[in-house]
Structure 1
Amino acid sequence: MARAHRQRRAVRMNWSAGTNPRLPLLAAVVLAICGILVVQVLRLQVFAPVVPASALGGIPRVVPVEAPRGLITDRSGVVLARNTPRYRASLVPGELPPEGEPRRAALMRIAQSLKIAYSDLEQAATSRIAVVDPFAPVALRQGMTGDDAIMVRAALAGIPGARVEISPSREYEPTGALAHVLGYVSSLPSEQAQSLVAEGYTLNSRIGIAGVETRYERALRGTPGRRLVLSDPQGRELHQLGEDPAIAGGNVVLSIDLQLQRAAEAAVARGIKNGLSILRPSSQPRARPLPAGAAVVLDVRTGEVLAMVSSPSYDANVFERGTNEAVSALFTDPARPMIDRTYMEVRSPGSVFKPLVALAGLEEGVITPQTRIFSGGSLTVRNQYDPNIVYVFGDWAFHGNVDLNRALSRSADVYFYEVAGGYWEGGKETFKGLGADRLAAWARLAGFGRPTGLDLPGEASGTVPDSEWKKTVIGDEWLLGDTYTFGIGQGYLTTSLMQMAALTAGIANRGEVPVPHVVRGIERGGIFTPVPTKIGARLPVSAAHLAAVRGGMASAAGDSDGTAATGVPAGVKIGGKTGTAEFGLPYPDGVFDTHGWYIGYAPVENPQIAVAVYLEYGVGQTHAGPVAKEILDAYYNAPGALRAAR
């Protein structure tokens, strides 16, 4: 017995002394076994797709949890897009009766109750989501109010497979002033559903389709969560085992000021209502609303979009609570309310292009600020091969001898014909102009012919023509007349309103053309991350030449006979330029239809904002100018954050 005691004591001593060479190996084996057991428990209790009902009392299922979508606010924090509690009617294919008459009867009752086609229901019941998870609800009707949900729930009572459940819905600023900017959300597009599900969306997810909602989808969406639940064989939830909570999306803060936005919207609406268009073929002026218009206000230093209006617009809430017919009507409306005319559409800019032609002429040595050109109301050019053929390029008025300042102030067409294309007499070029290719190069330097980089989808590029372009696209040689019309912003040249606004900001901002952006930054968890300012183009112009062009624009707005005087707000000196671009074929009386443009920046001494206005079938001085004046008046009388920014 004493011997046994001594042996046990020796063993204890060996353990405590750590002299047994097998001890580390034994400890590692024990730890490995424990680790395997822990992993198996986690796998079986949390991650296993199926756990025997005898063990847990039901069938475990992973239920995805959508993250609350982030808010969209204006620059002052006014909420423009929020989440509101709504309801949806859903179909759970796994709860339908088996194939046969009971199943057909259930689907028929659901179709009648929700007023949807039986074939659509049958398709939902056999969709991809029904195959992957037959107990995952398939949305049939979204965006129902509480009262609607009560009525629908009563109509669906007792029908297997039919549910009414809460479903967050998007609610937008109701006036439609920002519909094009905000965009909207919708169900996953069918052609993208497979790839989006692979990214973590469910087939019931909502996704941004247009505007900020789609451009900043990743920031707004957040991180989805999931719940592990026990369900009975019919798919009814019995118990929640665990949850991985969703993380809400970030809030997107726009650069838009809602107060200025509403003022710009009202100004454009009045410009449309008060517009005078010419009814053909009588050629007699008559009051009638113009069909459409748009306006943009930029911060010339940062490129922030302070206001952005396109009319006609639409109510984005239609996509959440409207009928299928109401949604379809938006896309078939001949007025095209879904098109944002500030950046999705391009037109000939007309005379608002002349400041860039002037800068190009100065930098290329074609003119100086003092160069005088005679404008007798038209420019006549004889065909170099047949002098009996005469081409007449008209001006809108007789101007006499004008220098650069006066040419910009009075928008003298003949001056810019010659700066662009030169002057020919007796078959010889007596005044050498820029030529089409050099003018096109300057247009591209300024950012035309490509998107500005605006942070919204679907931006148009426009066209900068030159001799090679015409040969390739039109299949014809470039003519002198093409260069003349190019020099006054017409012919084949097309630009968007946003491009013209950016150019105006660049002229005001020492030749640096900013990249416009509608989002000021992202707020997440109390931390605000601003969108950086970017320069889209740097005009290689001297300060003296830039000052000469800005002086001409100041005269256009400040002189009593300046063509841009209609856009000047009280008490503020601005630089401006009008444009009235002819388009289409002339009527029998020789008159063309026109679009009206206006660009301007303010104040002249220390520019802060640029404004650009466009009215379809309008006139720049008569229609677009007063709209710009009203917008500038609103800016300089605005209280609050916008005033502080000045």
Structure 2
Amino acid sequence: MGATLATGDRSRGAVEAVRVNHQRLLALQAVGALLLLVVAVQLVRLQLYGEVPALAASRNAPQAAVSGEFVRSIPVEPLRGLITDRRGAILAYNVATFSLALVPGDLPTDPAERLVAIRSIERIGLVPRSVIEETLAQPLAEIDPLAPLTLREGFDREEAIALRAALADVPAARVRTAPRRVYGGGDLLAHMIGYVGPITAEQAEAYLDAGYRLDALVGRAGVELSYESELRGEDGERLVIADPVGRELRSLGADPAHGGVDLVLSIDSELQRAATAALAKGIEQGIDYAVNVENRDPEELARSGAAVLLDVRSGELLALATYPSYDVGAFAWHNRGEDIAALLNDPTRPLVHRAYMEAPAPGSIFKPFVGAAALQEGVATPTTQIFSSGTLEIQSIYDPEVVYTFRDWAPHGLLDFYTGLTRSSDVYYYYLAGGYDQDGEVFEGLGVERVAAYARAFGFGAPTGLDLPGESSGLVPDEAWKEEVIGEPWVLGDSYNMGIGQGFLEVTPLQMAVATAALANGGDLLVPRVASAMRTLDGMAPIERQVAGVVPVDARHLEVVREALRRAADTGGTAWRGEPLDVEIGGKTGTAEFGRTNAEGLLASHGWYIGFAPYDDPEVAIVVYLEYGVGATHAGPVAKEILTAYFNIDISPEDEWYGTPAATVGRAQP
């Protein structure tokens, strides 16, 4: 990046030299009034790369003494900012190339002459007639006939010189400098980095209003889209005198382009690689379980999942893994469709980032938040005892002869708040969420409205504010939602299901990471982000920590929940497989039923794990989601591998330019 900045400095110096060159100023003054008039009259054309015929200039200005010469505005493309990971590894950069473009408005209007021009372009053997006609048929050709439409890119300087010579008699053909965006990392960070591409017809009006040229390349996904205005920079412009076929004769002056800022991600590539590898291993083990234990058809099973590692202090995402992924190179803007079509039609949906674009049922990892609500509302205390025989039977409110049975995964016996969460008793959370009123025993539960209210307070049911496009809101159901969407009243069984993270409830792994971070950090609901800082000519500008809100749960109640999660992660608890060696954590597993039953009548299950570490002074929250699997058996070991990598990889910046100074990320300070 240093070389890029130096180049920008030299460009500014050159422009300043031009501005103070008295001879050039005197020459410009000779035609100044006329040029201002021409520019004013042809403003739109200048903005859209128009070539403004200098008819009067041939009589009044020495620069345009030959009839047919005209003033031409040539855009100067800004260099797009680099994208790096938190340690400075370059993930997106620019390569200088040339492109061949076509200006529809400069083609002859006479059909025969137009065909001759098109054949001249076709004759060079680089662009088929079909591509030329397809380009001319784009809606942008109608919206702005004077915007160059790229036919092909990737030419070097020698090829560009040869092209200019071969197409000298075709004014509509332009050979232009075109920095090409190059991405590193393959499929490791594809969703987060994103890609650039041409402006579409649907986007044209908005980008025109924002001052863009319609032939500009813009961010289409990932941070390339989210931080488009920062990465893009500002266009420059050169005014030149051109001959009748558009060849540059001499310069009238220039306004330099200003390159975009560099974007530093919070993601650590090495940690991301470790998380992705652990996730892939867990997915395969979950699939193996579904096939060999649950007797499911392997052809029907999706090998997919996600893992999130979030700094609970800053909101920075240190790893955001998804499986499957895709090579971002497939979306290089000049790719004309085959690779893209294959991705769009891929049944494994690699374009969907499972951490924030998909919202499955959470299962038992939702219980800590129900527990926090119950403590805050006085429904439960740390010593509240509930007996689980393995089932809970409820009479129908319509017919006492009808009895509904709600099952626990095991008969746990007498439980208090700590053991209820440590053993992940479903019956305990049926009581907390829905209550119980049978045979003289009355326990007042939270009820759906309070469960829903606290779920929303922890960030469920709405986007987290992630700085990436395409985030799912998930779903927090309530009585009104069920009545409106399903047309049925809410019943007690719905509250029971919601209390254990089943039923209609849907959450993204990222929402779960933000909520887990709030448990760990004392209640701050952080806005997660993948961008850590922006690097400009003036130095590093960290992106500040953002807090969306504070959860309405007292610190003493959050401490009870954290202690229960610590016990769950100890040997003997359901979450012990997620604890790395020598690091005490808080953790919780989840196994959420979904989909169709197998031959034995059993539903498939998602495998989940949530946790935070270290327990005494939390640094990170972790979430693992496997589309198929069991939380304790399959998701827990994935979390353990990722946490082990985190505590063994030095993710601190390699120099002071990288990372976020506002939060020393990576290690707790001694």
Quote the residue 2:13 is aligned against.
none
Q: What secondary structure does 1:229 align onto? A: strand
CA distance in 1, matches of 2:274, 2:384: 41
The answer as to 2:137 corresponding to 1:123 is yes
Query: What secondary structure, in the 3-state scheme, does the structure 1 residue paired with 2:597 have?
Result: coil
Cα gap change, 1:97/1:316 in structure 2, threshold over 3 Å: closer, same or farther? same
Residue 644 of structure 2 corresponds to 633
The 1:343/1:241 distance shift into structure 2, 3 A limit, reads same
Aligned position for 2:624: 613
Q: CA deviation at 1:279?
A: 5.7
CA distance in 2 between partners of 1:367 and 1:443 (Å): 17
2:139 and 2:604 map into 1 onto residues whose CA distance is 55
Higher mean C-alpha displacement, 171-180 vs 274-283? 274-283
Matched, 1:577 2:597: no
Q: What is aligned with 2:16? A: none
Q: Which residue of 2 aligns with 1:271?
A: 282
Contact 2:140 2:200 (C-alpha < 8 Å) held by counterparts? no
Structure 2 distance, partners of 1:98, 1:433, is: 77
Distance 1:315 1:217 in 2: 21
The 3 A distance-change label for structure 1 pair 121 and 102 is: farther
SS at match of 1:127: helix
Alignment check: 8 A CA contact 1:313 1:338 kept: yes
Q: In 2, distance between residues paired with 1:147 and 1:291? A: 46
On the 8 A contact 1:107/1:121 being kept in 2, the answer is no
State the 1:121 CA deviation.
Answer: 4.3
**Structure 1 unaligned regions, length at least 5:** 1-36
Task: Answer yes or no: is 1:432 the counterpart of 2:422.
Answer: no
CA distance in structure 2 between the partners assigned to 1:253 and 1:192 by the alignment: 27
Partner of 1:223: 234
Q: In 2, Cα distance between the equivalents of 1:446 and 1:129?
A: 46
Structure-2 change in CA distance of 1:576 and 1:159 (3 Å)? farther
Q: Tell me, in whole angstroms, the C-alpha distance in 2 between the residues paired with 1:282 and 1:543.
A: 43
CA pair 231-93 structure 1, distance change in 2 beyond 3 A: farther
Task: Summarize the alignment of residues 6-155 of structure 1 with structure 2, pairs less than 5 Å apart.
Answer: 41-45=31-35, 48-49=38-39, 50=54, 51-54=56-59, 55=61, 56-57=63-64, 58-93=69-104, 96=107, 99-108=110-119, 110=121, 113-115=126-128, 116-117=130-131, 119-123=133-137, 127-128=141-142, 131=145, 133=146, 137-142=148-153, 144=154, 146=156, 153=163
Structure-1 separation of matches of 2:412 and 2:542: 49
**Deviation by residue 1:394-427 (Cα, 9 ceiling, x = unmatched):** 222221111121121111111111111112323x
Paired residue type of 2:488: D
Q: Is the 8 A contact 1:278 1:286 kept in 2?
A: no
Q: 1 CA distance for matches of 2:297 and 2:490?
A: 38
Give the distance between the partners of 1:316 and 1:553, measured in 2 at CA. 39
1:455 match: secondary structure: coil
Post-superposition offset of 1:83 = 1.0
Alpha-carbon distance between aligned partners in 2 of 1:39 and 1:145, rounded to the nearest angstrom: 38
- Report the counterpart of residue 336 of structure 1 in structure 2: 349
- Is the 8 Å Cα contact of residues 408 and 426 (structure 2) preserved in structure 1? yes
2:11 is matched with which residue?
none
Aligned to 2:462: 450
Q: Aligned equivalents of 1:499 and 1:534: distance in 2?
A: 15
CA shift in 2, pair 1:476/1:97, >3 Å: closer
Letter matched to residue 342 of structure 1 = A
Does residue 492 of the first structure (1) align with residue 504 of the second (2)? yes
State yes or no: 1:314 paired with 2:326: yes
Contact 2:592 2:607 in 1 (8 A): yes
Deviates more, 1:516-525 or 1:493-502: 516-525
The one-letter code sitting in structure 2 at the alignment partner of 1:605 is D
Distance 1:294 1:395, change over 3 A: same
Moved more, 198-207 or 625-634: 198-207
Q: Quick one: distance in 2 between partners of 1:59 and 1:159? A: 16
What letter matches 1:369 in structure 2? P
How far, CA to CA, are the matches of 1:105 and 1:41 in structure 2? 37
Deviations 1:550-580 (A, max 9, x none): 111111111x221111111111111011111
More deviation, 435-444/327-336 = 327-336
Q: Which moved further from structure 2: 463-472 or 350-359?
A: 463-472
8 Å Cα contact 2:606/2:629 also seen in 1: yes
Give 3-state SS (helix, strand or coil) of 2:474's partner. Answer: coil
Q: Which of 197, 200, 213 in structure 1 is aligned with 2:208?
A: 197
Q: Rg: which structure is higher?
A: 1
Distance 1:47 1:495, change over 3 A: farther
Structure 2 counterpart of 1:389, from 393, 397, 402:
402
Change (3 A) 1:141 1:588: same
Q: If the length of structure 2 is used for normalisation, what is the TM-score?
A: 0.84
1:214 paired residue number: 225
Aligned to 1:10: none
Aligned counterpart in structure 1 of residue 430 of structure 2, from 417, 425, 432:
417
- What is the deviation of 1:304? 0.8
Which amino acid in the other structure matches residue 462 of structure 2?
R
What is the SS of the residue equivalent to 1:612?
strand
Amino acid at match of 2:602: V
Aligned to 2:560: 548
Look up the match of 2:478. 466
Residue deviations 1:208-240 (CA, integer Å, cap 9, x gap): 111111111111111111000111111122122
TM-score, with length taken from structure 1: 0.87
The aligned counterpart of 1:174 is 185
Tell whether the 8 Å contact from 2:97 to 2:157 is kept in structure 1 after alignment.
no
1:11 corresponds to: none
Q: CA deviation at 1:52?
A: 2.1
Contact 1:94 1:234 in 2 (8 A): no
| Alignment partner, residue 340 of structure 2 | 327
* Seq. identity, %: 46
The 8 Å contact of residues 70 and 250 in structure 1, kept in 2 or not, is answered as yes
2:317: which partner in 1?
Answer: 305
| Corresponding residue SS for 2:134 | helix
Deviates more, 1:573-582 or 1:87-96: 87-96
Deviation at 1:188, TM superposition (A): 0.5
Aligned to 1:294, the other structure's residue is in SS state: strand
What amino acid is the match of 1:314? Answer: Y
For residue 284 of structure 1, report the CA deviation from its aligned partner. Answer: 2.5
3-state secondary structure, aligned to 1:297: strand
